[in-house]
Structure 1
Amino acid sequence: MSAQVIASFHLVRYADTSAMRYAAFDRPVLRRTPGLLFWRILGTGRGPSMTLGADLRRWALLAVWRSERHLEAFLRSSPIPARWRREARERWQVRLTPLASRGRWGGVDPFAPVRPFAPAPSAGPVAVLTRAAIRPTRLVAFYRAVPAVDDDLRRQAGCLASVGVGEWPLIRQATFSLWRDAAAVRDFAYRRAAHRRVIGRVRAERWYSEELFARFTPYAAEGSWDGNDPLG
């Protein structure tokens, strides 16, 4: 991949659950999209992180593009964003410059090459993606730990917005979140007791067969997420 790749995250809410069919219909369209290097259609949870409950009216798309030009062409000409504009009750999207990435998604780092994992800029908002393939034998332990982390996340003043997303129910889960700045991310990751305990157990008990952590600079956000633009 080129060092100039960009990513985009799209969050779309429909009027009812009949929109589930689009998860299948959109796949061949995305496979044929020029300049689209990596993509995942993702269901969304009801909480701010990885949870058991699903919101079947809301769906997400994470995409990695060869260039800004290819993303612009997709938004202008593809039937998928045309349907979002026509049918969605609410939609929000943001463009993302990858800052750092660690781990794999389906055996690859979708955002490579980026510079070695390093501190994010000290000022300005930061987007964070965490993704995990949970070992079936660790599912019970994982989901028992989620509520405490969710409660902690909801209390973080520095967290602008967060949503749990996933490819497969229960097993392949992720969280996309927006933060006031890099200091707010560090505070939650390393200073909050509930999160520290879970991270310790993840490592000690090998909960995940594959995981990825990536940071981005978000820019050019459009639309609303739960009634407002969290980056506005």
Structure 2
Amino acid sequence: MASFHLIRYPDRSALRYMAFDRPVLRRTGGLTFHRLLGTGRGASMTPGADLRRWALFAVWRDEAALEAFLCGSPIARRWRRAAAESWHVRLTPLSWHGRWGGRDPFAADLPGGRDRFAAGFPGGGRDSLAAVGFPGGREGPVAVLTRASIRPARLLAFYRAVPSVDRELLGQPGCLASLGAGEWPLARQATFSLWRDEADVRRFAYRGNVHRDVIGRVRRDGWYAEELFARFAPYGSEGTWNGTDPLAG
């Protein structure tokens, strides 16, 4: 299982927390994979950063390990004490494609599931929808995580393409919330988004003209050195993201 945590601090003191949190997370029992992420402003993937808002993406051995972290970790205690706003969601991996830092973060969750899914976000997507892990019949909200290491020679092309894809994304009625994030300025970027259902994800991934054009350029010109696209069933959300829980109701 996985979890995503979005924390907003009242000031830029969050910068020092990032450095202090890394060794604590490395020692956290049952945490099999994690990334601390800075975030962009609002829902954007543009280069500007929100230095008060940070995220943690984590993969856990089981639900008990996550509960132990939330109840006993000094990181979680600080979130409760010092954060101006926080939002947390539990995630069941459904399917995924690719690597993050040379690893498959979800190898233990779905045996044989690696490479079953390639989301159609910037850089993702395949010609056949049947090949990318959108099984029919599942209802309810979907969370999508995309992550890429952008080749230095392709950074300019990537960031020139971002504003038009952002506008298309924000115009999707089925997108409940989204943000751009990164573990390293400019070159290692990620997105996390919540959708009303799988049909809305498909509509954006494969029917948006701007987005489809960008996908073609990414593949043709080799923008990414490494990429990961994953789809989840979100559950157990708590707290607020920009004042509301986007999964409420």
Question: Which category of TM-score, normalised to the shorter sequence, fits these structures?
Answer: over 0.9
* Structure 1 segments of 4+ aligned residues over 6 angstroms from their partners: none
Alpha-carbon distance, 1:50 to partner: 2.3
Q: Deviations over 1:6-48 (max 9, x none)?
A: 0000000001112110110000100100000000000000142
Tell me the SS of whatever aligns to 1:17. coil
Which one of the candidate residues 92, 96, 121 is aligned to 1:101? 96
Which residue does the alignment assign to 2:125? none
Tell me the SS of whatever aligns to 2:241. coil
Which residue does the alignment assign to 1:142? 158
Alpha-carbon distance, 1:119 to partner: 1.6
Q: Do the aligned residues in 2 keep the contact of 1:132 with 1:174 (CA within 8 Å)?
A: yes
Unaligned runs of 5+ in 1: 1-5
TM-score of the two chains, using structure 1 as the length reference = 0.96
Q: Do the aligned residues in 2 keep the contact of 1:134 with 1:210 (CA within 8 Å)?
A: yes
Which residue does the alignment assign to 2:174? 158
Q: Do the aligned residues in 2 keep the contact of 1:133 with 1:211 (CA within 8 Å)?
A: yes
Which residue does the alignment assign to 2:134? 119
In the superposition, relative to structure 1, how do residues 49 and 99 fare at CA in structure 2: closer, same or farther (>3 Å)? farther
Which residue does the alignment assign to 1:3? none
Q: Distance in 1 between matches of 2:98 and 2:54?
A: 24
Supply the RMSD in Å over aligned alpha carbons: 1.0
Which residue does the alignment assign to 2:221? 205
Q: Distance in 2 between matches of 1:105 and 1:73?
A: 25
TM-score of the two chains, using structure 2 as the length reference = 0.89
Q: Indicate whether 1:78 and 2:94 are aligned.
A: no
Which residue does the alignment assign to 2:45? 50
Q: Do the aligned residues in 2 keep the contact of 1:14 with 1:90 (CA within 8 Å)?
A: yes
Alpha-carbon distance, 1:49 to partner: 4.3
Q: Distance in 2 between matches of 1:48 and 1:210?
A: 23
Q: Distance in 1 between matches of 2:40 and 2:83?
A: 18
Instruction: Give percent identity, aligned residues only.
Output: 70
Q: Do the aligned residues in 2 keep the contact of 1:13 with 1:89 (CA within 8 Å)?
A: yes
Q: Distance in 2 between matches of 1:82 and 1:178?
A: 26
Q: Deviations over 1:181-217 (max 9, x none)?
A: 0000000000001110111100000000000000000
Q: Distance in 2 between matches of 1:164 and 1:110?
A: 20
Q: Name the aligned partner's letter for residue 48 of structure 1.
A: A
Tell me the SS of whatever aligns to 1:230. coil
Which residue does the alignment assign to 1:229? 245
Which one of the candidate residues 4, 11, 14 is aligned to 1:16? 11
Q: Deviations over 1:140-187 (max 9, x none)?
A: 000000000011111110000001010000000000000000000000
Q: Name the aligned partner's letter for residue 198 of structure 1.
A: V
Which one of the candidate residues 189, 193, 197 is aligned to 2:209? 193
Unaligned runs of 5+ in 2: 118-132
Q: Name the aligned partner's letter for residue 168 of structure 2.
A: D
Q: Distance in 1 between matches of 2:230 and 2:44?
A: 15
Q: Deviations over 1:55-98 (max 9, x none)?
A: 00000000000000000000000000100000000000000000
Q: Distance in 1 between matches of 2:153 and 2:134?
A: 34
Q: Distance in 1 between matches of 2:27 and 2:88?
A: 21
Q: Indicate whether 1:60 and 2:76 are aligned.
A: no
Which residue does the alignment assign to 1:25? 20
Q: Do the aligned residues in 2 keep the contact of 1:105 with 1:210 (CA within 8 Å)?
A: yes
Alpha-carbon distance, 1:112 to partner: 1.7
Which residue does the alignment assign to 2:129? none
